[in-house]
Amino acid sequence: MTALKAKDMAAGRMQSSTAKSVDWWRGAVIYQVYPRSFLDTNGDGIGDLKGVLAGLDHIARLGVDAVWLSPFFTSPMDDFGYDVADYRNVDPIFGQLADFDAIVEKAHRLGLRVIIDQVYSHTSNQHPWFEESRQDKINAKADWYVWADPKADGSPPTNWQSVFGGGAWEWESRRQQYYLHNFLSSQPDLNVHNEEVQAALLDVARFWLDRGVDGFRLDALNFAMHDPALRDNPPAPREGRTLSRPFDYQLHVYNQSHPDIPKFIERIRKLTDEYDGVFTVAEVGGPNPLAEMKAFTAQKRRLNSAYNFSFLYADKITNDLTKDALRAWSGEADEGWPSWAFSNHDAPRAVSRWADAADATRAAKLYAMLLLSLRGNAFLYQGEELGLPQAVVPFEKLQDPEAIANWPLTLGRDGARTPLPWREMAPNAGFSAGEPWLPVDQRHYPLSIESQHNDEHSVLNFVQKMIDLRKSSPALRSGDFNFVEDADDLLAFYRNLGDDEALCVFNLGKERRNWRPLSEHRLKRAISIGVGDDRDAVPGELAPLSGYIALGKN
C-alpha cells in the first residue's frame, strides 16, 4: 500500500468520526482475536489474517464495537508474536500487509473499530535493532537495549529473574556484557529511557495509525523501563504460598515499574491525539498493579484505559472480589476508564476456573451477563461467546514455553489458545484442513459457532442478546454504579445515567437466595438467567448461578 493510500485510509477514519464518536470506546465491547487460533485458510494448521477477514462477519453479528488483534507481526514465534522482529510488517505465516489492510477496510465497513497490540518493552533478538546493538559498544544502537557489565566475579549485574524462569540476564560475548530479558532470553529488553528508542517506537505507532487502526493495547507496559542504578530486587513475602517460578520469589521493585514510564506515555498520548477517536489501553500485570494503572491513565493526558487483571487469575468469582475491583474505579476526578476481562490468551478460561463442568453452560451465560454489566469496557476473548471450557492439552502437544518450563505446576496458556470451533461435523471443527498447531478439544466440537447459531438457547445467542441490551441502555454502557448493600449475599448494583437506570443482580454462589429491591415498582426485567419465565416481574428468589438485569427510569 502506498503512503498516499495509507494517508487516505486514515483520513477516511477521521472524517467518519464525529465529535460524539471520538469517545466511542467508553463502555465499548471489544472482541479479542488470537489470530493463530481463529481460522486457518491455507491448511497449514495456523490461523491467518485471511481467516480473520472471513470471520469478521461472526464478530460483527455479535454486536461488539471493536476487534483487538493479538500480534501478527514478523517474528520467530518463540513467544508466538510477542517477540517482534519487524514492527511494521506481517509475518508470512499470517499473510501480508495487504491482508491487514483488507481487515481494516472490511471492519470499518461493518462498523467495527480495529485495535492492535504494541509491544514496547522488548523485541525479538532477531530484530535489526538488536542485531546491530549486540555487535559492540560504539555502534549507533549500542544504547537501544539494556546492557550491563558483569560483577567482579563474572556473575550477572543483578538478581533479577525472568517471568519465564531463570535469571533475567544473558551474556553477549561480542560486547562482553549482559543484556536484560524480563521474558525469554530471545526477547531482549529495549532501553526505553533512551529518547531515540522512544522516537522509534512512536514512529511505529504512527505507521499503524496511518494504516487506519483505531487503537492500541500496550503490552507489558510496566516492564518498559528499569532501574538504571541496577539495584537488586528484595525477596517477596512467602505468606504460605506455593511458588512455581523464581520470578515469584521477588518484589519487582527495580526491573519494572520505573516512575518515568508515565512521561513516555504522555508522548504516546500526544501522538494519538493527532488522530480522532484513537483508543489506548495499558496492560499492567503484577500482584498489586492498581497504583500503576491509575498513574498510566491519569489526567486525560495519558492513556484512555487500563486492562484489569482483577478477574483473570482469580480462582473463584465472589461478591467481594467484584466489589473491590469496581470500587477501585469509582470515577473520581482525573481517573482513567477501566477495562475488564474474565478470560484472554494468557489466562485459563473463566468458566473452568469458576464453575463445575455440570454448570458450565449456565455459568458461561451468567459470567457474560456480569462482565457486560460492569462499569468500563468489556473485553470478550474468542470462544468466550461460546462458553468454551479450558482445553486439555497433553504435555507432548504443548507449545507454550511457560507451560513447558513450569510443568506441571501451572496450567500454562495453551489451554486457552486452542483453535476456535466453527463447525461441529467438520475436521478440526472447521478451523483448518490441516493438523492444527494445537489440538481441538473434543468437548469444543458441539459448542461450535454453527451449532450454537442455530440454537436459540445457546451461550452464543445469549451473549449477542446481552450485548444488544448493553448497547440499548445508556446506563449499562457508560453509567455510574452504586452497590446495593442490603442484598443478602447477592451481588447487586445500580447503573445510572441521567434518568436511565439498570438494576443488576447476581447469585454467584451455590445457595438459593431471597431478596427484592425497594424500587421494584419502577423496574422491568429485561434479561435473566435461571429465575423463571415472567419477564415483566422482578423475581424475589434467585437460584444458584442465576441473575437478572431490570431496566427502568428514575
What average pLDDT does the segment 498-518 reach? 94
What average pLDDT does the segment 61-83 reach? 97
Is the CB of residue 304 less than 8 Å from the CB of residue 337? yes
Residue type, 512: R
Q: What is the pLDDT of residue 288?
A: 82
| pLDDT bucket at 276, cuts 50 / 70 / 90 | very high
Q: What is the pLDDT of residue 457?
A: 96
Q: What is the pLDDT of residue 18?
A: 39
Q: What is the pLDDT of residue 22?
A: 76
What average pLDDT does the segment 122-128 reach? 98
Instruction: Give residue-wise pLDDT tens across range 354-374.
Output: 999 999 999 999 999 999 999
Instruction: Give residue-wise pLDDT tens across range 530-550.
Output: 987 677 789 999 999 999 999
Q: How far is it, in rounded angstroms, from Cα 520 to Cα 264?
A: 49
Residue type, 365: K
Q: Evaluate if residue 98 carries a pLDDT over 50.
A: yes
Angle at 23 between CA 18 and CA 26, to 5 degrees: 145
Q: How far is it, in rounded angstroms, from Cα 233 to Cα 520?
A: 55
Q: What is the pLDDT of residue 451?
A: 98
Q: What is the pLDDT of residue 411?
A: 65
Instruction: Give residue-wise pLDDT tens across range 388-426.
Output: 999 999 999 999 887 887 777 666 799 999 999 999 999
Q: What are the beta bridge partners of residue 340? A: 378
Q: What is the pLDDT of residue 9?
A: 54
Instruction: Give residue-wise pLDDT tens across range 476-496.
Output: 999 999 999 888 889 999 999
At 256 the three-state DSSP class reads coil
Range with the poorest average pLDDT among 1-10, 487-496, 500-509? 1-10
Q: Evaluate if residue 4 carries a pLDDT over 80.
A: no
Q: How far is it, in rounded angstroms, from Cα 505 to Cα 43?
A: 46
| pLDDT bucket at 174, cuts 50 / 70 / 90 | very high
Range with the poorest average pLDDT among 242-251, 263-272, 327-336, 407-416? 407-416
Spacing of C-alpha 310 from chain mean position = 12
Smallest Cα–Cα separation from 405: which of 518, 551, 244? Answer: 244
Q: Helix crossing, 459-472 with 360-371: angle to 10°? A: 20
Instruction: Give residue-wise pLDDT tens across range 29-49.
Output: 999 999 999 999 999 999 999
386 φ/ψ sector (left φ>0, alpha ψ -120 to 50, else beta): alpha
Range with the poorest average pLDDT among 81-85, 147-151, 217-221, 298-302? 298-302
Q: Evaluate if residue 52 carries a pLDDT over 50.
A: yes
Q: How far is it, in rounded angstroms, from Cα 550 to Cα 543?
A: 17
Q: Evaluate if residue 2 carries a pLDDT over 60.
A: no
Q: What is the pLDDT of residue 533?
A: 67
User: Which residue numbers are catalytic?
Assistant: 219, 274
Q: What are the beta bridge partners of residue 542? A: 513
Cell of 141: 544502537
Is the CB of residue 436 less than 8 Å from the CB of residue 419? yes
At 118 the three-state DSSP class reads strand
Structural domains of the chain in order of their starting residue, each with its CATH number: 3-121+195-225+260-467 (3.20.20.80), 479-553 (2.60.40.1180)
| pLDDT bucket at 241, cuts 50 / 70 / 90 | confident
Q: Tell me the H-state helices in 217-333.
A: 261-272, 290-296, 319-327
What average pLDDT does the segment 96-100 reach? 98
Share of the chain above pLDDT 90, in %: 85
Dihedral (CA of 153, 154, 160, 161) sign: negative
Environment class of 506 (CB within 10 Å of its CB; exposed 0-12, middle 13-18, buried 19+): buried
Q: Evaluate if residue 19 carries a pLDDT over 50.
A: no
Q: What is the pLDDT of residue 13?
A: 52
The alpha-carbon radius of gyration of the chain (Å, integer) is 24
Q: How far apart are the first and last CA of the chain?
A: 52
What average pLDDT does the segment 194-213 reach? 98
H or E element in which residue 378 lies? strand 377-381
Q: What is the pLDDT of residue 243?
A: 79
What average pLDDT does the segment 430-447 reach? 98
Q: What is the pLDDT of residue 486?
A: 87
Smallest Cα–Cα separation from 34: which of 357, 377, 379? Answer: 379
Q: How many CB atoms lie within 10 A of CB 229?
A: 7
Mean pLDDT in the chain?
93
How, if at all, do strands 500-507 and 546-553 pair?
antiparallel
**Cis upstream peptide for 544 (omega within 30°):** no
